[in-house]
């Protein structure tokens, strides 16, 4: 009898160990494949950006877009992950960041730590997404090395600092204000959108965008179908992005990053409803396929802040508002002389503001995690203001400095000729001969 009990105890212990390991491996698998899905965001941004470029600049735009990704990955390893772990209290680093230093034993293959690598990879894809958001807006006239410096600042410093403050279980925006941003509407999209706005002010418009009287010309991209496919790929990638915003707890309920319980089903409901709401809103407003697809993306962003809690028809309405208002917001920026080639500030910046503020307006009263206040309008407004400031200020200041040193804007002669012909050793469409010369009215 005693032997049987001992055998049973041993079997239970083995079963517990096995179950624990299955949970650990589930976690690795979940975030690994969410990261793989997020790569589609970058495939989408690549197609989107190249399609939105004129034929004379298409490869230069593609190179720039890919390099944003390439430089954010190592720099996020060097210091981005450390910033996330070290700065939840503000500007003074804590010792918690030591685990994210590039020489820490967790920052490489380690049989006692299955989690750090997949979490780092998911956050790195978030980081690369922020840099890619800027990339499309500045096409056809930014110097690549100036852009790379800006991409590193945005992707590996600015957004991840706000992320540490407002998308971390110990972040001060959560602890003091109950800030709630499940799908990074503010943390990623507002920061990236307003960083981009700061850069665009110093970069200036493409030659031919504005006439002497201030009116704007349309500079259509060379391949709108490629733009639409690119936007659809971004949407697919966002399912990976939002999946990575959910915390898998082996043996327990899913939670959001703040530790509040939720279901993955909530993302299933509200991501699709948000996409549809944004699509329809922008279609009603513009009848333009470019803005319709951009509206779908803006719809997801507008619903992202509360995607874990929205009643799905409410997510649809919030997203429809985002879709309806991005084109007027874009037109307003254009009237101020801002040439945003793909509407990134409107889709991500404005869409993100809708995403954060709508949670305060329509979802106040939800309890916070154990030691943090619940959701409130004040908390959301404080949060979105922080996101706007930490996006805009470094984007504006760094691009201003780069501009002073002649490291920001491509010379006018090169813009007129086309960037591909000036610096790319291959042709995008070789059977059509050399990259075509400029043909916009004001040139």
Residue 336 beta carbon to another protein: minimum distance, rounded to whole angstroms? 29
- Name the residues that contact another protein, by CB under 8 A: 71, 74-75, 78, 102-103, 105, 108-113, 143-145, 148-149, 407, 410-411, 413-414, 417, 422-423
Closer CB to another protein, 308 or 420, in the complex: 420
Closer CB to another protein, 218 or 413, in the complex: 413
Q: CA–CA separation, 351 vs 234, rounded Å? A: 15
Residue carrying the six token digits 């997203």 = 319
Residue 186 beta carbon to another protein: minimum distance, rounded to whole angstroms? 29
Instruction: State both tokens at 30.
Output: 């979940």
Residue 77 beta carbon to another protein: minimum distance, rounded to whole angstroms? 9
CA angle 423, 429, 434 (to 5 degrees): 55
Give the torsion sign (CA, 219, 223, 224, 226).
negative
Q: Tell me phi and psi for residue 178, to 5 degrees.
A: 65, 30
Q: E strand or H helix at 417, and its extent?
A: helix 412-417
Closer CB to another protein, 149 or 309, in the complex: 149
Residue 143 beta carbon to another protein: minimum distance, rounded to whole angstroms? 6
Contacts of 70 (CB under 8 A, 6+ apart): none
Closer CB to another protein, 80 or 379, in the complex: 80
Helix axes 351-362, 191-203, angle to 10 degrees: 150
Bridge partners for 210 per DSSP: 216
Residue carrying the six token digits 């006239």 = 141
Q: CA–CA separation, 54 vs 222, rounded Å? A: 5
Decide if 281 contacts 322 (C-beta within 8 A).
yes
Residue 4 beta carbon to another protein: minimum distance, rounded to whole angstroms? 31
Closer CB to another protein, 89 or 403, in the complex: 403
Q: How many CA atoms lie within 13 A of 172 on its CB side?
A: 13
Residue 197 beta carbon to another protein: minimum distance, rounded to whole angstroms? 24
Distances (CA, A) of 1 to 5, 9, 212: 6, 12, 96
Residue 207 beta carbon to another protein: minimum distance, rounded to whole angstroms? 14
C-alpha dihedral (396, 340, 64, 212), degrees to nearest 10:
-90
Q: Tell me phi and psi for residue 409, to 5 degrees.
A: -105, 135
Reference 160, options 191, 133, 185; nearest CA is 191
Closer CB to another protein, 32 or 78, in the complex: 78
CA–centroid distance for 92 within its chain:
25
Residue 371 beta carbon to another protein: minimum distance, rounded to whole angstroms? 32
Bridge partners for 247 per DSSP: 255
Residue 408 beta carbon to another protein: minimum distance, rounded to whole angstroms? 12
Q: CA–CA separation, 350 vs 315, rounded Å? A: 16
Q: CA–CA separation, 156 vs 5, rounded Å? A: 55
Residue 421 beta carbon to another protein: minimum distance, rounded to whole angstroms? 8
Closer CB to another protein, 261 or 411, in the complex: 411
């Amino acid at each position: 009898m005693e032997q049987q009990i001992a055998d049973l105890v041993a079997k239970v212990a083995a079963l517990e160990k096995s179950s624990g390991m299955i949970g650990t491996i589930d976690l690795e698998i979940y975030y690994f494949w969410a990261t793989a899905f997020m790569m589609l965001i970058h495939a989408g941004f690549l197609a989107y950006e190249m399609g939105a470029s004129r034929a004379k600049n298409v490869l230069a735009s593609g190179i720039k877009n890919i390099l944003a990704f390439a430089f954010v990955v190592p720099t996020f390893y060097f210091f981005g992950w450390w910033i996330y772990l070290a700065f939840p209290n503000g500007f003074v680093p804590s010792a918690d960041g030591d685990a994210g230093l590039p020489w820490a034993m967790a920052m490489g293959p380690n049989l006692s730590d299955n989690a750090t690598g997949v979490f780092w990879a998911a956050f790195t894809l978030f980081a690369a997404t922020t840099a890619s958001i800027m990339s499309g807006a500045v096409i056809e006239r930014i110097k690549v090395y100036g852009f790379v410096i800006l991409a590193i600042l945005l992707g590996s410093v600015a957004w991840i600092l706000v992320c540490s403050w407002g998308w971390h279980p110990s972040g001060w925006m959560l602890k003091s204000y109950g800030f709630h941003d499940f799908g990074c509407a503010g943390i990623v999209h507002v920061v990236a959108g307003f960083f981009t706005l700061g850069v665009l002010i110093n970069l200036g418009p493409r030659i031919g965008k504005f006439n002497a009287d201030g009116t704007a010309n349309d500079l259509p991209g060379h391949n709108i179908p490629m733009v639409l496919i690119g936007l659809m790929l971004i949407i697919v990638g966002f399912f990976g992005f939002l999946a990575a915003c959910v915390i898998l707890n082996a043996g327990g309920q899913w939670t959001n990053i703040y530790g509040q319980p939720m279901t993955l089903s909530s993302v299933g409901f509200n991501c699709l409803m948000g996409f549809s709401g944004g699509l329809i809103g922008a279609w009603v407003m513009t009848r333009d396929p470019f803005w319709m697809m951009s509206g779908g993306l803006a719809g997801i962003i507008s619903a992202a802040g509360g995607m874990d809690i929205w009643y799905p028809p409410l997510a649809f309405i919030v997203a429809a508002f985002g879709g309806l208002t991005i084109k007027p917001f874009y037109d307003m920026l254009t009237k101020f002389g801002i040439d945003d080639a793909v509407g990134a500030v409107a889709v991500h910046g404005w869409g993100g503001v809708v995403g954060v503020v709508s949670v305060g307006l329509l979802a106040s009263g939800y309890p916070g995690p154990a030691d943090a206040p619940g959701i409130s309008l004040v908390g959301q407004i404080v949060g979105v203001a922080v996101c706007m400031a930490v996006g805009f200020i470094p984007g504006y200041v760094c691009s201003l400095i780069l501009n002073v040193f002649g490291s920001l804007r491509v010379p006018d002669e090169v813009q007129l000729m086309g960037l591909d012909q000036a610096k790319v050793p291959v042709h995008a469409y070789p059977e059509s001969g050399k990259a075509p010369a400029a043909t916009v009215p004001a040139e």
